[in-house]
């Protein structure tokens, strides 16, 4: 079975641009979460979506938004990119939305975003 | 902000030795999870220990949890070169958004 897939794998943007990152969860998984991992740090929670609704949001500015589609795939959008947005963006899926923290999260290999 | 701190930040040992990593956290938790991350890859779930458990084993992995001290440890026995990776603890907090809060990780290097 395919794992969590993310696209693109690498992306280079300039300051002020907009970016869309995509994630397909494991088949049957209805919860998708997004994390930002700056080099040398642990991942930081951005969003969780379940059944197309936002169920959790981390301490990120409104420039960050996301959505989940009927097939449970998800997009993360970042507007007005800043140099500090350079990071590995990870998507994780799990079967259900409730009891989120009690389930192992299955991560994709991420999108490496570089801002010039 | 990061919930926990991991200690040490980096660890280098010889193949066959045991590796111990520690994690401390700040708030009350439902459970604590450990993940491994190979360079440039995503995180792989290793083990989950619930707040009412004190010790858990999975293959060569042993995890302990002390909720009174808000700390956990991960022991990898008989280390192998393939264990070279970064290891993160993550806590699922009781209140607030449903999310995992990760520590900064321990970079483990196994020397052949």
**Is A44 within 8 Å of B102 when comparing Cβ atoms?**
yes
How far apart CA B80 and CA B75 sit, in angstroms, is 13
Check residues A6 and A40 and name the one with the higher pLDDT.
A6
Residue A98 is predicted with a pLDDT of 58
Choose among A58, A39, A111, A83: nearest CA to B1: A58
- Residue pair B2/A42 in contact (Cβ under 8 Å)? The answer is yes
Residues of chain A with C-beta less than 8 angstroms from the C-beta of B99: 33, 45, 48, 56, 58, 100-101
- Buried residues in A29-46 as b, exposed as e (16+ CB within 10 A): bbbbbbbbbeeebbbbbb
pLDDT for res B33: 93
The residues pairing with B71 across neighbouring beta strands, listed in sequence order, are B24, B66
* Residue A73: C-alpha distances to residues A4, A6, A70, B110 (Å): 10, 10, 7, 37
Task: State mean pLDDT over B43-66.
Answer: 96
Give the distance from residue A32's alpha carbon to the nearest chain B alpha carbon, in angstroms: 11
pLDDT at residue A102, rounded to an integer: 74
Tell which of A101, A102, A105 to mutate to test the B interface (max B CBs under 10 Å).
Answer: A101
Distance CA B68, CA A30 (A): 35
What does the alpha-carbon distance between residue A32 and residue A55 come to, in Å, rounded to a whole number? 10
Contacts of B31 in chain A (CB under 8 A): 101-102
A18-71 pLDDT, tens digit each: 999 999 999 999 999 999 999 999 999 999 998 888 988 999 999 999 999 999
User: Considering chain B, what percentage of its residues have pLDDT values greater than 90?
Assistant: 75
The dihedral built from the CA positions of residue B98, A45, B89 and B81, taken in this order, carries a sign that is positive
3 state DSSP class of A116: coil
Distance in Å, alpha carbon of B14 to nearest chain A alpha carbon: 23
Instruction: Find the closest chain B residue to A108 by CA distance.
Output: B42
Task: Concatenate the DSSP letters of all residues of B26-84 into one string.
Answer: -S-EEEEEEEEE-TTS-EEEEEEEETT-SEEEETTEEEEEETTTTEEEEEE-S--GGG-
- Residue A83 phi, psi dihedral angles, 5° rounding: -55, -35
- Model confidence band, residue B28 (pLDDT cutoffs 50, 70, 90): confident
């Amino acid at each position: 079975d395919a794992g969590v897939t993310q696209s693109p794998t690498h992306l280079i943007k300039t300051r002020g641009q907009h970016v869309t990152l995509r994630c397909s969860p494991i088949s049957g998984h209805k919860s998708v979460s997004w994390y930002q991992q700056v080099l040398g740090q642990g991942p930081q929670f951005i969003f969780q979506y379940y059944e197309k609704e936002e169920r959790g949001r981390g301490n990120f500015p409104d420039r960050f938004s996301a959505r989940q589609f009927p097939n449970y795939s998800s997009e993360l959008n970042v507007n007005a990119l800043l140099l500090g947005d350079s990071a590995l963006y990870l998507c994780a899926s799990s079967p259900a939305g409730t009891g989120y923290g009690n389930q192992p999260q299955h991560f994709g290999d991420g999108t490496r975003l570089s801002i010039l | 902000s990061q919930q926990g701190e991991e200690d040490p930040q980096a660890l280098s040992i010889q193949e066959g030795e045991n590796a111990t990593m520690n994690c401390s956290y700040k708030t009350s938790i439902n459970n604590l999870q450990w993940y491994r991350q190979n360079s440039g890859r995503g995180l792989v779930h290793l083990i989950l220990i619930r707040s009412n458990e004190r010790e858990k084993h999975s293959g060569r992995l042993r995890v302990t949890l002390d909720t009174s001290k808000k700390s956990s440890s991960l022991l990898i026995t008989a280390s192998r070169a393939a264990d070279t990776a970064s290891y993160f603890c993550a806590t699922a907090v009781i209140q607030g958004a449903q999310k995992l809060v990760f520590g900064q990780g321990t970079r483990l290097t196994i020397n052949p």
